[in-house]
């Protein structure tokens, strides 16, 4: 988790090659991919997903997905990378019932809404 949080791409890559559990949450429920999205470490996001991290794995307890975290923090680059790698803009694991697309619209983050709709969230936008 420390390598992810610090954006240490080569260390993350090495840990993945050594078989580190890329979906293992810390005691607070944060997965490596959620941490990378929260810090806007786009290259780490890409490396984690390419190495097998689940792009739609929700955090235990609160249900936030990596995409939800990226949207919540306003990180367009991380959100775009996650969407390009198969993140579901309509996934609704958050306890509030809000999807990443709903959150982006609520925050009036028009560029984020555009990215999410363009890459698969259009059906959710109609709700």
> Residue 13, exposed/middle/buried by CB under 10 A (0-12, 13-18, 19+)?
middle
pLDDT score, position 97: 82
73-118 pLDDT, tens digit each: 999 999 999 999 999 888 766 677 888 998 999 999 999 999 988 8
Count up the domains in the chain and report the number.
Answer: 1
- DSSP conformation class of 102: H
Task: Identify the CATH number of the domain in which residue 60 sits.
Answer: 1.25.40.20
Q: Is the pLDDT score of 11 beyond 90?
A: yes
Domain hosting residue 118, numbered range: 2-125
H helices of 8-89, in order, are: 9-17, 32-39, 42-50, 66-73, 76-84
């Amino acid at each position: 988790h420390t390598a992810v949080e610090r954006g240490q791409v080569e260390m993350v890559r090495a840990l993945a090659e050594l078989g580190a559990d890329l979906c293992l949450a810390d005691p607070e429920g944060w997965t490596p991919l959620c941490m990378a999205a929260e810090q806007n470490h786009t290259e780490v996001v890409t490396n984690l997903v390419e190495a097998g991290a689940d792009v739609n794995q929700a955090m235990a307890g609160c249900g936030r997905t990596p995409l939800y975290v990226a949207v919540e923090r306003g990180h367009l680059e991380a959100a775009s990378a996650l969407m390009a790698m198969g993140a579901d803009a309509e996934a609704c694991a958050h306890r509030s019932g809000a999807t990443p697309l709903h959150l982006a619209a609520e925050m009036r983050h028009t560029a984020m809404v555009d990215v999410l709709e363009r890459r698969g969230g259009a059906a959710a936008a109609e709700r």
